[in-house]
């Protein structure tokens, strides 16, 4: 190939790339103006979702890694909720535009009480037939408003930003409306995990019983053996049920609280948390990071009785707790936490030598 032909070939290739770039750019621009294109087919490319309502509540959901999202840059996101939202976004379908006679009413409702949704995706400045992708960057690709349900609860009113016509939108394969899936409450998106550490990543666990110090203990997870130590005298326990200690350590693999009580009266919270904790559990992992929880008895508000008709003093199903460095006041279940809220005597062999 002579020099002239080579130059012509280079020019053709450059022009093809520029044309593809312009087509790609134009395609993304027209896509953004699609008044009924609410669905996001490539949810894997979504990097952020911003949700805001008319009461100044907002939530920023951000992808920080494979299978990892954060809430408002402060907390780990609950992945089941993220997966449900992404599935919802992928399968949205416009059923029909709102009829003229209902147009003004629906527009007014959307203006007064809707949730604004901003979707950000990783896109490419050059995308040749989805095969050659160059210059990735984050871009706001879609903004729409989610309103209330239709009269039959089988659809949701939605409006694309910049459009004049709202649509009734439904979720493929789902009977109902989707507005609740776009919650603007931070607590609805937060992960409820308290402990999530595998056995081999645990260095030490300390369990303190402030009202009965003789039942306090710590377990040291060594490379070749496990030690059980009584905290009252800091002496190793010579004989104990090794299987129970092992089960205790493996229970920290996944322990979650039931509910975040961020709307409870602050004076009541202060009253509860200023009392003596029932238990204090502290886990130190192999990296030296510490996770702890303080539990507090919960009053028997439902007046539950034992088999003899006596009212229990405390709730027999649930406790209050402080987690996340005492920042969050939560509700936990005995059923879940009993696996890690043991006393020293639980592990002792009846025939152990003193």
Structure confidence by residue, pLDDT tens digits, 55-91:
999 999 999 988 899 999 999 999 999 999 999 999 9
88 domain-assigned: yes
pLDDT at 69: 97
State the DSSP H helix or E strand holding residue 29, giving kind and residue range, or none if neither.
Answer: helix 3-32
The answer to whether residue 175 is domain-embedded is yes
d(CA 37, CA 31): 7
Instruction: Give start and end residues of each alpha helix (H) in 175-278.
Output: 186-189, 242-250, 266-273
pLDDT at 260: 94
Among 143, 162, 189, give the residue marking a domain's end. Answer: 189
State how far the Cα of 105 lies from the Cα of 94, in Å rounded to an integer.
19
pLDDT at residue number 31? 37
Residue 285 in domain: yes
Supply the pTM of this predicted model: 0.77
* Helix and strand element counts for the chain (H, E): 7, 20
**Between the CA of residue 216 and those of 37, 235, 278, what are the distances in Å?**
60, 12, 11
Residues 242 and 312 in one domain: yes
Give the model's pLDDT for residue 353.
43
Strands 217-221 and 202-208: antiparallel
Residues 199 and 168 in one domain: no
Please tell me whether residues 128 and 198 are part of one structural domain: no
Q: Is residue 234 part of a domain?
A: yes
Q: Cα(76)–Cα(64) distance, rounded to whole angstroms? A: 10
For CA atoms 294, 299, 305, 310, the dihedral sign is positive
Tell me: pLDDT of 26 over 50: no
Q: What is the pLDDT of residues 307-316, one digit of tens each?
A: 777 777 688 8
Report yes or no: 332 and 318 within 8 Å, Cβ to Cβ. yes
Task: Say if 30 falls within a structural domain.
Answer: no
- The answer to whether 262 and 329 have CB atoms below 8 angstroms apart is yes
Taking Cα atoms as reference points, which of 42, 82, 87 lies closest to residue 64?
82
Task: Give residue-wise pLDDT tens across range 113-152.
Answer: 999 999 999 887 777 666 676 777 899 999 999 999 998 8
More confident residue, 353 or 228: 228
Same domain, 65 and 181: yes
From 189, 221, 238, the end of a domain falls on 189
Q: Which of 178, 160, 156, 183 is nearest to 168 (CA)?
A: 156
Q: Residue 98 gets which letter from DSSP?
A: P
Query: How far apart (Å, rounded) are the C-alpha atoms in residues 39 and 93?
Result: 7
CA atoms within 13 A on the CB side of 157: 24
Q: Are residues 106 and 229 in the same domain?
A: no
Tens-digit pLDDT profile for residues 236-284: 998 999 999 999 999 999 999 999 998 899 999 999 999 999 999 999 9
Regarding whether 325 and 214 lie in a shared domain, the answer is yes
Q: What percent of the chain has pLDDT over 90?
A: 71
Specify whether 288 is located in the same domain as 150. Answer: no
Whether residues 206 and 343 share a domain: the answer is yes
On whether the CB atoms of residues 126 and 19 are closer than 8 A, the answer is no
Q: Which two tokens mark 136?
A: 């990735």
d(CA 158, CA 261): 32
The arithmetic mean of pLDDT across residues 177-191, rounded, is 93
Residue 175 domain boundaries: 35-189
Same domain, 333 and 290: yes
């Amino acid at each position: 190939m002579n020099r002239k032909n080579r130059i012509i070939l280079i020019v053709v290739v450059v022009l093809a790339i520029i044309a593809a770039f312009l087509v790609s750019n134009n395609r993304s621009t027209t896509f953004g103006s699609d008044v009924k294109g609410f669905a996001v087919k490539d949810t894997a490319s979504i990097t952020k979702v911003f949700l805001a309502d008319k009461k100044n509540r907002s939530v920023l959901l951000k992808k920080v890694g494979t299978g990892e999202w954060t809430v408002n840059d402060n907390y780990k996101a609950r992945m089941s909720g993220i997966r449900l939202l992404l599935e919802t976004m992928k399968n949205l379908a416009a059923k029909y535009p709102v009829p003229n006679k209902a147009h003004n009413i629906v527009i007014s409702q959307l203006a007064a009480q809707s949730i604004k949704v901003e979707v950000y995706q990783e896109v490419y400045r050059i995308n040749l037939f989805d095969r050659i992708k160059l210059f990735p960057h984050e871009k706001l690709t879609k903004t729409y408003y989610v309103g209330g349900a239709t009269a039959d609860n089988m659809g949701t009113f939605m409006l694309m930003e910049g459009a004049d016509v709202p649509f009734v939108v439904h979720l493929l394969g789902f009977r109902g409306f989707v507005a609740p899936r776009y919650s603007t409450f931070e607590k609805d998106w937060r992960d409820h995990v308290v402990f999530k550490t595998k056995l081999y990543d645990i260095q030490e666990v300390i369990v303190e019983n402030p009202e009965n110090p003789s039942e306090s203990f710590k377990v040291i997870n060594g490379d070749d053996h496990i030690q059980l130590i009584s905290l009252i005298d800091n002496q190793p326990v010579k004989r104990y049920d090794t299987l129970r200690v092992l089960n205790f350590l493996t229970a920290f693999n996944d322990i979650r609280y039931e509910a975040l009580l961020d709307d409870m009266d602050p004076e009541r919270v202060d009253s509860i948390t200023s009392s003596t904790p029932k238990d204090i559990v502290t886990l130190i992992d192999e990296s030296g990071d510490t996770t702890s929880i303080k539990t507090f008895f919960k009053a028997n508000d439902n007046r539950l009785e034992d088999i003899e008709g006596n009212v229990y003093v405390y709730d027999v199903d649930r406790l209050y707790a402080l987690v996340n460095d005492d920042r969050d006041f939560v509700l936990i279940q005995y059923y879940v936490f009993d696996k890690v809220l043991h006393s020293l005597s639980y592990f002792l062999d009846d025939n152990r030598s003193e």
